[in-house]
Amino acid sequence: MNDTKSMIKNALILFAITLVAGVLLGIVYQVTKEPIAYQEKLAQDKANQSVFADASTFNEVAVDETAAGAAVAEVTGVTIESVKEAVDASGTALGYVIQVKAKGYGDFITYTVGITNEGNVNGISIISIAETPGLGMNAEKVIVPQFVDKIAQQFTVVKNGQMTDSATQIEAISGATITSRAITNGVNAAVNYFESVLKGGQ
């Protein structure tokens, strides 16, 4: 009888602890949800502005899911997350910011690709990355600068010292070819989407 009472007591104590922990987690989530969302928006806004410095507003454009699927069909681990039209202060449309997510060596890399209406890649800007420190994490200083002011076309990754065409080739981060290819694949998918859906205006 005592064993039964002890089991019931322990079960009630465990239930109470679980209930309190659940309530506390819920409170923490509610408290941190808005600040986290705000920080994420700031990061996205910064990335948008980085690839279109002359834009004053970025208008949301509905993603054509069928075209997005076709754009990433030839690469693995890439998705097109969102599309925004970059517009300057006078109301002139400058081009598009295509946000992509690509599977890197460690986790997904999220970044924006800016493509002008004339068909040039303004550049890319990384929003989140969690690759290997000292290797893939060097993407910001090694890969990002290589996409500044390039004609929007398909790019290929080459290893150090093997570059023969700076217009179409991206030199890989030393020791982080997977990260380099992941980012390049995402840019290629963004270019595909631009060519099939956005080029010439909507």
What value does the mean pLDDT of the chain take? 88
Give the pLDDT of residue 40.
67
Which pTM does this prediction carry?
A: 0.79
Rg (C-alpha) for the chain, rounded Å, is 23
Per the structure, how many domains does the chain have? Answer: 1
Q: For residue 20, what pLDDT band results from cuts at 50, 70 and 90?
A: confident
pLDDT digits (tens, 9 = 90+) for 171-193: 999 999 999 999 999 999 999 99
Q: How many CB atoms lie within 10 A of CB 103?
A: 17
Q: Considering the domain boundaries, does residue 8 fall inside one?
A: no
Q: Can you give the residue range of the structural domain that contains 120?
A: 50-198
Q: Considering the domain boundaries, does residue 22 fall inside one?
A: no
Give the pLDDT of residue 31.
62
Q: Considering the domain boundaries, does residue 6 fall inside one?
A: no
Q: Considering the domain boundaries, does residue 40 fall inside one?
A: no
Q: Considering the domain boundaries, does residue 194 fall inside one?
A: yes
Q: Considering the domain boundaries, does residue 149 fall inside one?
A: yes
Give the pLDDT mean for 27-37: 61
Q: Considering the domain boundaries, does residue 116 fall inside one?
A: yes
